[in-house]
Amino acid sequence: MRGALDGIAAFLTDGKSDAEAYPWATLRYCDSAKVKVELIARYKPSTANKALAALRGVLQECWRLGYMSAEDYHAAVDVKTIKSHTLPRGRALASGEIAALMGACGRDSSSAGSRDAALIAVLYGAGLRRSEAVALDISDYNDETGELAIRGAKGRKDRLAYATNGSSAALGDWIGVRGRDSGALFCNINKGGRITIRRMTDQAVLHILRKRASEAGVSSFSPHDCRRSFISDLLDAGADISTVQQLAGHSNIQTTARYDRRGEVTKQKAARLLHVPYTKRPPLNH
């Protein structure tokens, strides 16, 4: 937010001021409108809208503190959000790809094979963000109920996720290898195969997934794509979207809907209904 406000202040003063020095209470609608035009020219809609939200926030504080009249405040913030429609980010993994990843882990008889299978199981099977997975302690998992206590997640919100079926089995096998010493659920394993109860990093999760994808012959994907797959597959299986929203820890249901990739599959099926009468040409003779 500070960076966005610094940029707005610099634009309005030709580089002579930053967010701390700019007199925000003097800003009027014509200034806000110019800022919006500049943001559209410089940034993608999502980035521009975040900057506009930061501007509205600081103006609201000026009004609350009595530095702006209600009339000036409401006029200055009356700048509409920039509308856009972009292609959805990331992708959903097919069930065969999840199976291939698990197979790659299963062929690795070392401790890392067991750990990585359990990690993939909670990223996909419980829909965890990678930061949430590495933050788990062994005490956060209840192996009787399958509950995973996610603490201090995005937005400083706690929630319960669930490891069931294969996810529960994968976690059980990993804990059997790891042991029940207190500390991080997913921990480091050195090159000699020795487990150290030391928390993994977000980057380590990315490295693990890339390694297992290469072994399994699965196309490149991000840790967050496991979460997208979790949401899409639950909705496809008939789960209520509000329940999926709670499991995913989203603040609003629109966010959950944006993760849904079922519509793309439907469009692909529809596209295949059309036959293009093209006959493959023989190779050219040189």
Task: Pick the catalytic residue from 28, 154, 198, 207.
Answer: 154
| C-alpha span between 224 and 96 (Å, rounded) | 18
| C-alpha span between 115 and 161 (Å, rounded) | 19
Q: By the 8 A CB rule, do 259 and 232 touch?
A: yes
Task: Pick the catalytic residue from 178, 228, 250, 261.
Answer: 250
| C-alpha span between 191 and 61 (Å, rounded) | 54
29 is catalytic: no
270 phi and psi, to 5 degrees?
-65, -40
Task: Pick the catalytic residue from 36, 73, 115, 129.
Answer: 129
What single string gives the DSSP state of each residue in 72-84? Answer: HHHHHT--PPPP-
Neighbours of 1 (CB within 10 A): 13
| C-alpha span between 161 and 165 (Å, rounded) | 13
Q: Which residues pair with 150 in a beta bridge?
A: 159
250 is catalytic: yes
Q: By the 8 A CB rule, do 125 and 99 touch?
A: no
259 is catalytic: yes
Task: Pick the catalytic residue from 178, 212, 227, 228.
Answer: 227
CA angle 174, 177, 178 (to 5 degrees): 80
Task: Pick the catalytic residue from 178, 228, 259, 261.
Answer: 259
Compute and round to an integer the Cα radius of gyration of the chain. Answer: 25
Catalytic residues: 129, 154, 224, 227, 250, 259
